[in-house]
Structure 1
């Protein structure tokens, strides 16, 4: 019996290790490592150790999208390898229940950690439902999987509607969720990646590539480590973020005192300023100058305690305007 993984709904594909393809385990391991890198970077940003815009910068967003896509494509590949001869219902439902339970745990855990920004429909939720949708395609010809993939990948471009707005339909990806979430992977377009993986598996199985892939073992230290992570990708996925988040949180408590609110103010101020003015260097300098002015006048702490105080707001805006005119000024009248 194979070990649980995010992407392998059951054992039973062609393989070189315990009923598995070594190259598939390696690919899962690489995906897990890149996801851990992304989450660790997000944690560092959340606790203001760094000023990276992990949640919004184009480069980081591209990185996140590529990681999610790789997982969902591998879901489709594994699904087809396991069930293309016949659907193994017992194995499938056991796997589905494990992933669904894990997705529920993620939602509950992030609700306690992030409040209203908790994971309502994240990567594990999408994997579970996408597996249900993609399962029949494992028994159909390649063209059906390609057509299904194309339809779902393009759905947001031609089927989006305000009818799907709000929390009830957020899983569709066809409306505006109207609530924050630290992880949001709706069925459209992401199930299209799973169907693309089904199609990819079918194409490879019918090509001359299958036999060479079976022979790949990746016996080096790095290869064995990545394959091990690939074979245990689900528990690693469940555990890695709480461990990384807890590690960074512990450093903030036990390590040197860091003024995270100051860094957050400067980051948000500079992003807002750059959006309206288009001069990043000027905005960064002006926001730093504004913060220095607030602290030198001893109104920074009162502003944090009563941010809606009109007098403090007025003085902050005065400092900001003066700093935009002379961002290098140390003291502002």
Structure 2
């Protein structure tokens, strides 16, 4: 019989949800130019985002152990797996129409679903086996990365370089190692009686109950919060007097995504500035501000970006 639902885990998941909302709201403000925080490329912000993703993956491993350590309840497992997989597919579809080339190909939900499959053979085994497997995956990119894994086909592995940037990229290596670590730690906690002791905490106060509620509904909140926040910030940007803040945000984010592929700041900034100027000149930019999810407009934008990027004047001089 599985261990009953623990309030401490719901609180931990709820705190991760709060951190996630803060990060995504900051990202939206940055994307539309309301703030100049380096949310997309700042080291501190990347650490913050990685900590949030790691928290969800770690707790996924803990939950897997608590729910199935005595015997794998297959119906429950597959129901949860397909729910997360369907949600991941939905995120890919929505971001494809919203962010075009930067859509989510393998994000946090994709990784949680895949990591659950990877961790499944270790459920119910001695915790140290899962710990070793987790360490293997955590270190895999350090010694197994190869150009053979470059491109889109193998991007889920984390062992190569994807062809395009993405607004959310959480590959199996090293991140599935975090899920296995959570699975191992949960097993160690069970053996030591730590879960029984932690189970005494009910967090019945107002703040505790609120955090538990967020933790119990983390998937629903994940799917709903960003469309709401993004829509509100987009509306503020569209109705505000300084619509060109979106132009500044476009150049900043375009250059950031470009650098992930080319690694040349000057060329990327010039190509993105060139793109924006042409879009404004032919009227496409005004339409994009009103309809940012319009696929035909985004295709026109991407085509113009490729033209600007191919301009010989943007290429670095050849050393003699």
**Matches of residues 117-266 of structure 1 in structure 2 within 5 Å?**
117-261=102-246, 263-264=248-249
- CA RMSD after TM alignment: 2.8
CA distance in 2, matches of 1:145, 1:30: 26
Hey, what does 1:108 align to over in structure 2? 93
CA change 1:163–1:122 in 2 (3 A) is same
CA distance in 2, matches of 1:207, 1:217: 20
Residue by residue over 1:166-186, the C-alpha shift from the partner in whole angstroms, topping out at 9 and shown as x without a partner, is: 100000000111111100000
CA distance in 2, matches of 1:301, 1:34: 36
Structure 2: runs of 5+ lacking an equivalent:
267-272, 283-303, 312-320
CA distance in 2, matches of 1:65, 1:39: 13
TM-score (structure 2 length as normaliser): 0.79
Q: Does 1:46 align with 2:35?
A: no
CA distance in 1, matches of 2:163, 2:277: 32
Q: Does 1:34 align with 2:19?
A: yes
CA change 1:253–1:171 in 2 (3 A) is same
CA distance in 2, matches of 1:91, 1:301: 53
Q: 1:305 aligns with which of 259, 264, 281?
A: 281
Greater C-alpha radius of gyration: 1
3-state SS of 1:251 partner: helix
Hey, what does 1:3 align to over in structure 2? none
8 Å contact from structure 1 (residues 148, 192) kept in 2: yes
Residue by residue over 1:216-258, the C-alpha shift from the partner in whole angstroms, topping out at 9 and shown as x without a partner, is: 1001111101101111111111111111101101111223334
CA change 1:205–1:262 in 2 (3 A) is same
Residue by residue over 1:58-100, the C-alpha shift from the partner in whole angstroms, topping out at 9 and shown as x without a partner, is: 0000000100000000000000000100010011001101000
8 Å contact from structure 1 (residues 14, 214) kept in 2: no
**Matches of residues 59-78 of structure 1 in structure 2 within 5 Å?**
59-78=44-63
Q: CA deviation at 1:211?
A: 2.1
CA distance in 1, matches of 2:50, 2:265: 27
Q: Does 1:14 align with 2:26?
A: no
8 Å contact from structure 1 (residues 73, 194) kept in 2: yes
Residue by residue over 1:16-45, the C-alpha shift from the partner in whole angstroms, topping out at 9 and shown as x without a partner, is: xxxx10000111101111011100000000
Residue by residue over 1:184-231, the C-alpha shift from the partner in whole angstroms, topping out at 9 and shown as x without a partner, is: 000000000000000110111111422221111001111101101111
Residue by residue over 1:263-287, the C-alpha shift from the partner in whole angstroms, topping out at 9 and shown as x without a partner, is: 448968x999xx999xxxxxxxxxx
How many residues end up aligned between the 2 structures? Answer: 273
CA distance in 1, matches of 2:106, 2:204: 37
